[in-house]
Amino acid sequence: MKALLALLCALPLAAWAQTFRSNEHSFRLTRVVEGLEQPWSVAFLPDGRMLIAEKAGRLRVVSKGVLDPNPVAGLPEVTVHGQGGLQDVVLHPDFSRNSLIYVSYAARGSDGVGTELARGRLVGNRLDDVQVLFRQSPKGSRGQHFGGRIVFDRGGYLYLTLGDRGEMARAQRPDDHAGSVIRLHDDGRVPKDNPFVGRPGWRPEKFTLGNRNMQGAALHPSSGMLWTHEHGPQGGDEVNVMRAGANYGWPVVTYGANYGTGTKIGEGTHKEGMQQPIHYWVPSIAPSGMAFYTGDKFARWKGDLFVGALRDQMLVRLKLDGEKVVSEERLLKGVLGRIRDVRVGPDGLIYLLTDERFGALARLEPLP
């Protein structure tokens, strides 16, 4: 009976596998796990298991291609509100020693709902010693633009992306966390060299300002710089390099326009003292999730930047020359659905999560 059940479970996945040819590699697309509810992010544990965050507030474990029906216990309380819910899950850089994982999520407070950051020690199938390290302030009533990506840099500093919460003017306010990248020590303390520390009226956690809604973030494999992408309005999705104290312009400058009317937002596309994106999309692709390819399975993709797209349901590959995009290739359009997360696994393969009610984890595997 067990053998029959295993065969029945394996058949849909094997039957689903498809092959594709890109400009530089042929690959097979295989569905690894199904039955996920709006998965948002995936992290790889040293023992080969994977953690998958579902927007509804569940952290799931995948072991040897099997989804554990019991979620990880002990998470902080998650509020599902519009686009917000459980978002990113990331391992501490020294996880093998301390077993710490970090999660970003939407949470309710006295002034509404906003993004928070917590960490806990993964013990078996639960989180122990959970601590809330950061709470966005002020929060808000709207259901848009929670950001939520977490990245550690080579110095051990933690970065958290925050959207403007659907209130565009907040991205330019010094006393508001919204529309910023936040930089912290791994225990939530504010680094003394943060760019706005000691400036009256500024939130000391802020590392940048003028960002709309960053749902992709990754560390450049050569420079060690933090790269992000963010949703524009009607057009104007951007890829940016995050620099301490920089203003990325939203909503004063943008390549996008107002929804529906197409009318102008702000003052145009350029303004002195505000950063220009290194790449942008018009019309919008609704980017979410991003990763630099650092593995050894796709040699000709080494160093390329991969971006998931929700609106056009595709995977975008950007070929880079330093901080310049020299070419763009669009893969898997309409094949998987809305791609929410993109990660390179420790096996050198590329993993994708689909933001669907019946979502899946899929994998790109090279063909000879």
The active-site residue, picked from 25, 81, 92, 145, is 145
User: Is 145 a residue of the active site?
Assistant: yes
Going from the C-alpha of 60 to that of each of 57, 96, 106, 126, 204, the distances in angstroms are: 10, 19, 18, 11, 34
Cα–chain-centroid distance for residue 229?
9
Cα separation, 114 vs 105, in Å, equals: 8
∠ CA 83-109-118, nearest 5°, is 70
Beta-carbon neighbour count of residue 11 at 10 Å?
10
DSSP code for 30? E
The 3-state DSSP class for residue 182 equals strand
CA distance linking residue 50 with residue 109, whole number of Å: 31
- Distance of alpha carbon 287 from alpha carbon 304, whole angstroms: 16
Which residue pairs from 63-72 have beta carbons closer than 8 angstroms and sit at least 24 positions apart in sequence?
65/32, 65/33, 66/33, 67/33, 67/34, 67/35, 67/36, 68/125, 70/125, 72/122, 72/125, 72/126, 72/127
Helix (H, G, I), strand (E, B) or coil at 6: helix
Helix or strand (DSSP H, E) at 9:
helix 2-16
- Which residue's structure tokens are 């689903």? 16
Q: How far apart are CA 331 and CA 20, in angstroms?
A: 9
Which residues are CB-contacts of 15 (< 8 A; sequence separation ≥ 6)? none
Task: Just list the catalytic residues.
Answer: 145
